[in-house]
Structure 1
Amino acid sequence: MSAGWVAGAVRARALAVRCPGAAGAREIAACSSLDEALRRLASTPYIKYTREAAGLSGAQRAVSATLLWHLRVLAGWLPRGGARLLVPLVSGFEVANVVARLSPEHPEPEGRVPPYRLGALETAWRRLDQAATPAELRAALAASPWGDPGGDTPWALVTGMRMAAAWRTALVVPQARDWAVARAALLTARELFVHGRSLPAPVRRDATRLLGVGAPAAASYREFRDGLPAPARRLLADVEEPAGLWRAEADWWRTVRDDGAALLRDGRHGPGVVVGAVAVLSVDAWRVRAALESAARGGRFGEVFDALA
């Protein structure tokens, strides 16, 4: 194992151990106000951006921005070419940038939420940021590793990116393939059986690559669930109806948490430890964002938070 991977693994473990963890997130969730919760965050790594956050959405975004900053730092410790492993794992930030660009609440540039700064971990953000219309955005995606989403409506653009992210993760990060497969199943199930929307052709192609031919073509939710590959079938085993997919979403995060922790415990230095750290850090940020929402509502959702965390 190269010295670069050893250094990256050491840094990865150091970042992960500083997380508030489930216990810290529960304390935040039990706070009686958002201000109290933010004061508690002052003793955690999330202080980097949350100290100037305003309101719940601003605080949650600050938590996400801190996560991205830590992953960029981690990428800097990896050997040459090692950051390629992280690019698909952080692609959700690029999707979030596009969602913000497409939001009707911020039609003018000066009204938009500042984009996440991905640096060396971007897929094609600088090119996408130059697109002035949804049609131009679709063309920019088609000319990038994201690929053509199959339409230029906001839904088609974002859905195409999310499915493409799952496919690229499975392709580039073998340790995360099962997570990507399960994520693709959740996305497909939600579109087909909650929203009743047919998948654009490129999205259906990527879904088929991840889930097989049968599931994306299923006529019913039960047929869909029964036709899934093992990682996704396990995730949805106890979800009898599409309305229960939110529980599978929480289970997906738990699976990522457990698998990430197992990768971190691996005694060997290398890519697996780095992927494990990304998983643990991502789950921690997800928990903290949920805890902040509980605190903003007066800490009344502590029991619900415990069920999710």
Structure 2
Amino acid sequence: MRAKALVGRCPGTSGTREIASAPTLDDALQRLATTPYARYTRTAAGLHHAQRAVSATLLWHLRVLAGWLPRAGVRLLVPLAAGFEIANVASRLTALDGRRTESGTEPYRLGALETAWRNLERAGTPSETRAALTASPWGDPGGDTPWALVTGMRMAAVRRTAVAVQPARRWAQGRAVLLAAREVFVYHRSLAEPVLRDAARLLGSRAMAAATYEEFRERLPLTAHWVLVDIDIPGELWRAEARWWRAVQADGAALLREGRYGPPAIVGAVALLSVDAWRTRAALESAVRGGRPREVFDALV
């Protein structure tokens, strides 16, 4: 019931469409004032900080859920919150590389949902970051460049979710498809061995050995092929991304509707909270552009 209450307070599809139609970011933020996102967005300055504030609200909701759950339930949430730790590491690597980061950006506070952040935060070089990952449940990313580290973490998050969160296995497979397709066929990068191994566990070795996008799509197992149906070229993967989010929303709603105490209801709540945050971030970007590109926003949601 508490999980359902958290979800029920979100703007939802109609609320985010209204936000997307706002003529300015300030107008959009005013419309967020009556939603749970107001906790962090009220002091946001600029699109980046506003979107990050929405993400911080999602993390806060996950930490609230964790506080209501027994220890076994918290372990279920950790893989689902892995994206926040990945974002922390990506920001940390940017700082280590001497590049300018967004002003005022602090690491997400993970609390009980962290995997290895305290050790990763102490890493002073990319090599030390790789060593800390290798010694943790994340595993070896297969390289110590910023790209290799973050890509390794992203695929490891997919693997960890598929293993530990059974109701989310379908989403994990879909996410593996998107990640592999984008890296290999859009950016033309060779995946490190650990990343290939994790992807092959979910998508099969034949798919991961494909030389072309067409072969990759044809060789996917039926449980993962749905993501790329009618996506004929890699440049249209944004449509597959939107399809993935819609599937997460539909599956999450079904899990939460069951109304039973246990992992499915919690996973369903996390899915719907995550979808709403994703949709709200997209709505804020629409508002920054004058609230005009509604057809693009509608295509996403």
TM range (shorter): over 0.9
Partner of 2:31: 40
Whether the 8 Å contact between 1:106 and 1:112 is mirrored in structure 2 is: no
Equivalent residue number for residue 114 of structure 1: 106
Aligned partner of 1:216 in structure 2 is: 208
3-state SS, counterpart of residue 71 of structure 2: coil
**Any gaps of 5 or more consecutive residues in structure 1?**
1-9
Please report the TM-score for the alignment, with normalisation by the length of structure 1. 0.94
Alignment of 1:74-85 (within 5 A): 74-85=65-76
* Equivalent in 212, 218, 228 of residue 220 of structure 2: 228
**2:52 aligns to what?**
61
| Contact 2:91 2:101 (8 Å CA) reproduced | no
The one of 235, 246, 251 equivalent to 1:243 is 235
Give the whole-Å Cα distance in 2 for the aligned partners of 1:209 and 1:112: 39
Give the superposition deviation at 1:297: 1.1
1:23-81 CA distance string (max 9 Å, x none): 00000000000000000000000011001111000000000000000110011101232
Q: Which runs of 5+ in 2 are unaligned?
A: none
Change (3 A) 1:224 1:126: same
- Once the two structures are aligned, what percentage of the paired residues are identical? 68
1:143 corresponds to 2:132: no
Counterparts in 2 of 1:61 and 1:110: CA distance versus 1, 3 Å: closer
Q: Is the 8 A contact 2:94 2:100 kept in 1?
A: no
- Match 1:189 to one of 167, 170, 181: 181
Report which stretch shifted further, 229-238 or 206-215. 229-238
Provide Cα deviations, 1:127-161, integer angstroms capped at 9, x if missing partner: 10000110100000001000000000011000000
**CA-atom RMSD, angstroms?**
1.5
The answer to whether the 8 Å contact 2:177/2:227 transfers is no
TM-score between both structures, scaled by the size of structure 2:
0.97
- Distance in 2 (CA, whole Å) between partners of 1:292 and 1:109 is 21
Q: Please tell me whether the aligned partners of residues 28 and 287 of structure 2 are also in contact (alpha carbons under 8 angstroms).
A: yes
Runs (4 or more) in structure 1 with deviation over 3 Å come to 104-112
Q: Which amino acid aligns with 2:116?
A: A
| Aligned equivalents of 1:102, 1:14: Cα separation in 2 | 37
Query: Which residue of the other structure, out of 51, 65, 85, is the alignment partner of 2:42?
Result: 51
Alpha carbons of structure 1 residues 106 and 22: separation in structure 2 relative to 1, 3 Å: farther
Q: Quote how far apart the aligned CAs of 1:219 are.
A: 1.0
Identify the residue that residue 162 of structure 1 maps to in structure 2: 154
Q: 1:279 aligns with which of 271, 278, 282?
A: 271
- Number of residue pairs aligned between Structure 1 and Structure 2: 300
Whole-Å separation in 1 of the counterparts to 2:266 and 2:282: 25
Amino acid at match of 1:67: L
Shift of 1:110: 10
Q: Which residue in the other structure is 1:93 paired with?
A: 84
Q: Secondary structure at the match of 2:189?
A: coil
Task: Answer yes or no: is 1:204 the counterpart of 2:214.
Answer: no
CA displacement at 1:106 relative to structure 2: 6.0
Name the counterpart of 1:178. Answer: 170
AA matched with 1:122: E
How far apart are 1:195 and its partner, in Å?
A: 1.0
Distance 2:67 2:223 in 1: 32
Amino acid of the residue matched to residue 37 of structure 2?
A: Y
Amino acid at match of 1:13: K
* Residues 94-134 of structure 1, C-alpha deviations (whole Å, 9 max, x = no match): 01111111226864899672000000000111110000110
From 231, 238, 250, the equivalent of 1:258 is 250
Query: Does residue 1:302 correspond to 2:300, yes or no?
Result: no
Do structure 1's residue 71 and structure 2's residue 62 form an aligned pair? yes
* CA shift in 2, pair 1:279/1:212, >3 Å: same
